[in-house]
Structure 1
Amino acid sequence: MSVIKPALQRPELISYFSGANNYCWLYFRNGEKKLLAKPISYLESQLPDFIRVHKTVLINPDYIKSLDQPPHKKMAGKVHLESGEVFPVSRRRWLQVVESLHNHSSGSRQGEDLNSFPEKANASLADLEHYSPEASVFLMTSDAEKAAQTERLISDKWPTYHIHIEQDSMALPELLTQLPEQEYPSLILLDARTQTTERLNTLQRLKEDSQLSHIPVILLVLPTEQLISNGYQKQANSVISMPIGYSLFEHTIERICQFWLRIVRLPGATIYSN
């Protein structure tokens, strides 16, 4: 089950979000963090009371301890969190941040000094009802139609798996290394039919990383001998050749998932009886 929905229902447990391309790190008040397959702009739209202090940071105003004015009109200000973390406040957002925080302070803390917020009790991630670590499949593709087909397929055939779909795979190795090992994806699908160089580079980096090399990576390529050879040279677990617009794409993905999610035994994976 995705953590996004229960987290949005309990915003008081969240301290801030930090964006990374089309992903976003969610930082809880108790120090735990989770990687979400959502851009920070999506979280901002879902949590209108949170304050966007920078293009990559969205903060729970209840967690802000103080603000530092920009030392010069061409410099950024700073926001201090109760945890001691400090983030820059971009110049163009400064007045908006001050106004938003003042309005929030006036509405929820009548008569309190903006620079002196009371301590909050540490909230626990366990307080999120229905939360459980999710098994996942990552698909990197620029083909929106095939992405939609894959998402429907996974939801229908393997509902216990959450699928993360992104166009850009460059940041994937760095993002995965920040996850606990038990939250690594069960399968990564790299669609290299239109972004060959990027996907091959990502594949190589994944397989050269001792932490990530055991994650199964399936490379989808155009039907040429050179691309197939390149995929195996960079240690893809399987290389699947298919042209753009391949009519049996969904059927092929289903067979891949059936093999890697049900038949193959991987260290630490759940054992299925069916």
Structure 2
Amino acid sequence: MPDYDPSGDPADILLVEDNPGDVRLTREAFRDGHIRNALHVVTDGVEALDFLRQRGDHADAPRPDVVLLDLNLPRKNGDEVLDEIRDDPELERLPVVVLTSSKAQEDVVESYELQANAYLTKPVDPSEFIETVQSIQEFWLCVVRLPPSEDS
């Protein structure tokens, strides 16, 4: 599987996920798929926005190339995070993939109304979950052409 970025630098992926099991499976998917892109993990919506805005403990955080966003988060839910990303001129072009356990049609509709780039439901089976994460990486970092970051 080719790596992202023609310069050879690995991509930065921000995973916003509060479930330790899903974080572990995502890390496993990266390891098993020999994905060398950097995976950064935050566990709630407030921390996600601090990471993206490079505030507080995340002052030196890189600007991610893609955000994988769970909807069911503590302190600030995924819809609120997505809404703030799209309202921020410095973040609005950032690709956001909703990766959640919710199959509710209203969550799908709301996510797309808030301009999510994709909505994926987490498979229950661990091996299918790993395949899903690997396909996200393949598509978003190998197939899709992303806009340059603001600081490029």
Q: Whose strand proportion is higher, 1 or 2?
A: 1
| Pair 191,201 (structure 1): closer, same or farther in 2 beyond 3 Å | same
Aligned position for 1:67: none
Moved over 4 A (4+): none
Counterpart CA distance in 2 for 1:158 and 1:237 is 25
TM-score by length of 2: 0.75
SS at the partner of 1:188? strand
Q: Structure 1 residue 134: deviation in Å?
A: 5.8
SS at the partner of 1:138? strand
Residue type at the aligned position of 1:167: T
| Higher gyration radius (CA) | 1
1:195 to 47, 51, 73: 73
CA RMSD of aligned residues (A): 2.5
Identity of aligned residues (%): 25
What is the number of residues matched between the two proteins?
132
Aligned position for 2:51: 175
Aligned position for 1:147: 23
Contact 2:44–2:73, Cα closer than 8 Å, also in 1: no
Counterpart CA distance in 1 for 2:133 and 2:64 is 16
Aligned position for 2:5: none
Structure 2, unpaired ranges of 5+: 1-8
TM-score by length of 1: 0.44
Deviations 1:179-204 (A, max 9, x none): 89xx4111111112x33861110111
Aligned position for 2:142: 262
Contact 1:224–1:241, Cα closer than 8 Å, also in 2: no
Counterpart CA distance in 1 for 2:49 and 2:42 is 13
Q: Structure 1 residue 173: deviation in Å?
A: 2.5
Counterpart CA distance in 2 for 1:241 and 1:148 is 17
Deviations 1:190-219 (A, max 9, x none): 112x33861110111111111111111111
| Pair 174,214 (structure 1): closer, same or farther in 2 beyond 3 Å | same
Counterpart CA distance in 1 for 2:116 and 2:31 is 25
